[in-house]
A and B are shown apart, each in its own frame.
Chain A
């Protein structure tokens, strides 16, 4: 049986896609069969994997279980790593979900047939609080929450913890960290002291992460020894340990 991990944050631009793509790559590289579902209509991870952002029948047929999900999955450039691509129609995913019975369990139902095949399923979520995110909370075993260590981040994190209470395990990690900034160090220290859900591993603000968009590849491919690549490896190891402990 697979584990479903969702990279999620209410805010955009915090490193969700980078985490989803690089961690899914590491899962596959370790010998597992991994799938990433790009739920964001902007299709950033689909773009990174050079796949056309098109799902026959669109998001509506997918959540109504009218589309055989097997037929729309695409292999990526990386062995063992497949993609369920984004589609522009995902921008209406809320409406599509709302039109179904028990909308919050829909995404679970879509990925159910895939759970035997893939050991890891990653959901790369759009930034929002919506039916889509509620449905993601229902489907996911754990939420991977990137947090930029800024003033309001602890508040956002608390809100999220409340929101998913009783739902998936929350594993937060600091993202786009600038080690030279005192503020970043202080916020990290403070948040870690308040919550055991915050992981030790963190992802630095790095030109390599930004270059992913231009290279359209995972960091391990074009900068395998970079700080960012190593940081994702540490993050993946820690996520694995935390999931085992849970």
Chain B
């Protein structure tokens, strides 16, 4: 059906009023990892208004006037109100990036009732993708329907008539998705999950290399956003991929030639070290509102000098990190790691005892081994154990978690994996809180001198004292919870399940 024919058909069959033709200019947003797309939501800026659009009805869930130019938006930085709350619940810390700009010539046709009142808004639209490199691309014309509040039944009626009497078909994709595809990108965004189609009998070195290649892709995909400081999740995802790679390097070392592996393990340790401070300080700044909530309300403002110091330190840590991430050493590492993985399958096997064994067997062994190691370590922990014992257990827990996520979940039945992950997660949360609180107390102590010298420093120090006390209490609470969570993690039935499945 041509646009003209559609226009004529609509006017002939529906009680519709033509409104003046207009041009509209829209910018669509989504997060790097496509959180809006996953929920079939969209965020659009049109005519000085930023709106979160519902799936299906096209109605606005929340919106606000906004004259910001098209640049990344952080929900937390928006003025308080419905849009901020609604976006925070969907995207949290992730920035909304301008994805595509679509300019449309629109012929509005309003379906009216017997009073001449608009009850459904239709627009026949000829959209054009405004290319970022200057060339525009025509997209398919489409008819969009928008509900008028309080007239939902009219929308249902019009939609029925369009589909059953006038031969219109629902679009196979949303305008934003069509535009993103036309711009050569994926509407679902870039995921930090890896998808390395594994099978139990696959050669261990081939499967391991596939997983590690996936992780390298995640690292590379997140470097740019980390350097540009678009949001805190780029660095977080980058670091998780580094840590997961390190866990695989360590636990599946039998698939690699030892000499080659040793050098890469050292380089990955370097990557983790150069990104550590910046990430820790990201977390302090992101969680600062939680810290404020830990002190009495009258003291909330007293913590401002501390926030100032944390922000400065964060910037300094970022500068160092960015320098390292942009270095030749980092570029070389990605390239050499990639070719090392590519050559793995054909490398000699004498010093790689696990290389040709099935991945199901090798990874199962490692999962069972790390699990048993944790059970042993945890059994030895009692109320008088030093914090390091908890930390060491937590590190093992992370390795186990990565092994399960990367190999356990794709290869083994979910009725085994799910309860294991659940009890491990609860244990790790308690261990994590224990360690984080301890580190936070130490950090606050180390900053006290610098903060005390600032204007408002005395009040800040007093508030920090209260904060340290609360963090200490929370650390003790986490320690007290440990026994229960560990009990579940290391229960007889759980141990039996692990032995039967992986042993």
**How many angstroms from the CA of A139 to the CA of B111 in the assembled complex?**
35
Q: Is A73 an interface residue (CB 8 A)?
A: yes
Least CB separation from A77: chain B residue: B118
Q: Is A67 an interface residue (CB 8 A)?
A: no
Docked-complex contact A50 and B65, CB < 8 angstroms: no
Q: Could you pull out 5 A-B pairs where Cβ atoms are within 8 angstroms? A: A30-B65, A50-B113, A73-B149, A75-B150, A117-B62
A216 neighbours in B (Cβ, 8 Å): 116
Interface string of B27-47 (1 = CB under 8 A from A): 000000000000000000001
Q: Is B214 an interface residue (CB 8 A)?
A: no
Given contacts A1-B81, A49-B117, A79-B121, contact A119 B65 (CB under 8 A): yes
B150 neighbours in A (Cβ, 8 Å): 72-75
Given contacts A51-B117, A116-B81, contact A82 B149 (CB under 8 A): yes
Q: Which residues of A, 1-60, contact B by the 8 Å Cβ criterion? A: 1, 30-33, 49-52
Least CB separation from B67: chain A residue: A31
Q: Is B115 an interface residue (CB 8 A)?
A: yes
Q: Is B64 an interface residue (CB 8 A)?
A: yes
Q: Is B160 an interface residue (CB 8 A)?
A: no
Interface string of B58-74 (1 = CB under 8 A from A): 00101111100000000
A105 neighbours in B (Cβ, 8 Å): none
Interface string of A119-146 (1 = CB under 8 A from B): 1000000000000000000000000000
Docked-complex contact A31 and B48, CB < 8 angstroms: yes
Given contacts A50-B117, A116-B81, A116-B82, contact A30 B149 (CB under 8 A): no
Binding site for A on B (CB under 8 A): 47-49, 60, 62-66, 80-82, 110, 113, 115-118, 121, 147-151
SS of A interface (majority): loop
B347 CB → nearest A CB, Å: 62
B48 neighbours in A (Cβ, 8 Å): 30-31
Least CB separation from B17: chain A residue: A77
> Can you add 6 more A-B contacts, CB < 8 Å, to A30-B65, A74-B151, A116-B81?
A1-B80, A33-B63, A50-B117, A75-B148, A76-B118, A77-B110
**How many angstroms from the CA of A31 to the CA of B65 in the assembled complex?**
5
A77 neighbours in B (Cβ, 8 Å): 110, 117-118
Least CB separation from A72: chain B residue: B150
A153 neighbours in B (Cβ, 8 Å): none
Q: Is A197 an interface residue (CB 8 A)?
A: no
B60 neighbours in A (Cβ, 8 Å): 33
